[in-house]
Every structure is written in C-alpha cells, then in structure tokens.
Amino acid sequence: MESKGQPAFGSGRFGRRPAARPIPRPALLARLAAAPGMVVLVAAPGAGKSTLLDAWSASHSATMIDAPSGWPPPPGPLAIDGATPRDLPLLARLAGRAGVVVAATEDLQVPGATVLTPRELAFAEDETYQVLAGALADAEAADALAPDLHLLTHGWPALVALAGAWLAQHPAPERRERLRALARVEGDLTAHLVPAVVAALPPADRDLLCRLARLPAVDARLADHLDITEDLGPVPPFLQPLARHPGWYAVPDPWRDALARELPLPDDELAALQSAYRAAT
C-alpha cells in the first residue's frame, strides 16, 4: 500500500478502554544519550519529536523550553522544542555541549550537531505494532493488521496513532476491510481521519478536547478549577500525558489546529477560558 501523507497515546472514562502510554523508544533514546554534542531532531509535525523530547527530558531531568530565549542557558541537560532559524546564533554556542536535544521542523544547520531525520524518527514495523496493540487492546489483531498499517503510513508516528484510534472505533471483524478502504482514500489521510475519529468520541470527550486544544497543558486540579472536567484522563491520540510532569496532560502540536477546526469555540468563550487559565497559573 502507498503512504498517504505525513501528518500520539496512554482512564477508561465514558466507556472508553484504557489507552496505552507512548511506546518506549530505547534505541532512539540511547542515541540521544550517547551523542557527544547537540542532537537536532528535524521533521514535520507528527514525527514524534515532542514526545521523544518529553521522554528524554523526563529520564535525564532536563530543563524543557520552547525555544532559546536568552543567554546563558540553564545548566544541565536541556531539551529545546520548536527551534527556528532565528535561534541559530544561540544554538551554535550550545552545539558542543552534551545533553542538549533540539526539535525543529527544518534543518537549522547547527555546526557540529548530530541530526536525526524523519526516516530515523519514523516507527519501525514492530513499533507500529506496539501502538496498534495498545489502541486495539488486542495483540493478535494488531499482529495481523500492523504490516499493512505500517506500509500505508510509512511508520509516521502521528498517523499510526490516529489510524489506530480510528480502527479501534470499529468492530473487530470489520477492521481489515476498513484498512483496505483507507488505502483507497485520495489525498491526505490525516484530513480524512481526524473528523471521523472526533465525530465518534463521546460528547464529553469532544468538549474536553475543544478546550484543551487551546491551552498549553493541565492537571486534574487545574481542569477542575477551570470547570473543564472533574475526571481528567487521556483521549488517544489527541490528549496525552506528559512524562516530565506526571499528572499533566496536553494536546500535541500536530492536533491543535485540526481540533480547533473540528471543534470551534466562540470567541467570547475562548477569551474567558484563556483569561481564567492565565489567572490560575
């Protein structure tokens, strides 16, 4: 099957089965740990860069920042998400420092840095199987479907997770034919699957995602304070736990704009929500 685009996982609330946390990626984490200097993860949104950064920063007690904002940087391991060409002067001064991992959507050409490409960040077939097994809660079914899903998605992490969530919404006997039909879809699979997955969610989950797609991250206390939910939990693949901040959840960047389009929020409600969030944090 042909790949259809390049667009993440982890309470059984509202009758939904518990979702798996992001799969471990020991080989990639080992490469980050062994690098003699800076490592730059370069890929479009959906490659799992932020998820990998989150896991690495949690295991190394790293400081996680959205982008370098000044000099000197904090000491110790450092994870930098969303770097852009304007950050190159600061990044170049960090290039020789071990324990610095940067995520960017384009090659910043930092002198001396190790670069991991989309091909290296993509799932291997076994990792696609692990994601699918978690989504379906059925190892045997995942084993049968994973090879075709891997070919269809080229192992693109966000698309694998999205397709897994979509397949999980269908009865087991229908899944193989559904996957075959997916291979016949023309255009971007993400644009096709996001509305379908969102439409099949319980209303309470759609309301939760509508609001959390507009906020950086929340924990149960903050979600309750904002009157979003009293029962916070993951909604795979759109709402994920943060490894570096146990108990906190966030909508990963690849899904924010898509959810905002599918789940519009009136301007006055959005302004009130963001104002309440700022006041609470």
DSSP notation for 175-195: HHHHHHHHHT--S-HHHHHHH
Q: How many CB atoms lie within 10 A of CB 1?
A: 16
pLDDT of residue 65: 83
**Is 79 strand, coil or helix?**
strand
Q: Which of 33, 120, 122 is nearest to 79 (CA)?
A: 33
Strands in 63-65's sheet, in edge-to-edge order, are 63-65, 78-83, 100-104, 39-42, 114-116
CA atoms in the 13 A half-sphere facing the CB of 110: 31
Spell out the per-residue pLDDT of the chain, length 281, in tens: 433 443 333 333 333 444 456 788 999 999 999 999 999 999 999 999 989 998 999 999 998 887 666 667 788 999 999 899 999 988 998 888 899 999 999 999 999 999 999 999 999 999 999 999 999 999 999 999 999 999 999 999 999 999 999 999 999 999 999 999 999 999 899 999 999 999 999 999 999 999 999 999 999 999 999 999 988 999 999 999 988 888 999 998 889 999 999 999 999 999 999 999 999 98
End-to-end CA distance of the chain: 47
- How far, in Å, CA of 47 to CA of 32, rounded? 16
pLDDT of residue 6: 38
Task: Sort 2 into a burial class: Cβ within 10 Å, 0-12 / 13-18 / 19+.
Answer: exposed
pLDDT of residue 24: 87
Contacts of 127 (CB under 8 A, 6+ apart): 23, 25, 155
Our measurement of the distance from residue 196's CA atom to the centroid of its chain's CA atoms, rounded to an integer in Å, reads 19
- Interaxial angle between packed helices 157-168 and 175-183, expressed in degrees from 0 to 180 and rounded to the nearest 10: 140
Question: Contact at 8 Å (CB) between 241 and 8?
Answer: no
Within the chain, residue ranges assigned H as helices are: 26-34, 49-59, 88-94, 118-121, 125-136, 139-153, 157-168, 175-183, 189-199, 203-212, 220-225, 253-262, 267-280
pTM for the complete prediction? 0.86
Q: Which amino acid is at 259?
A: L
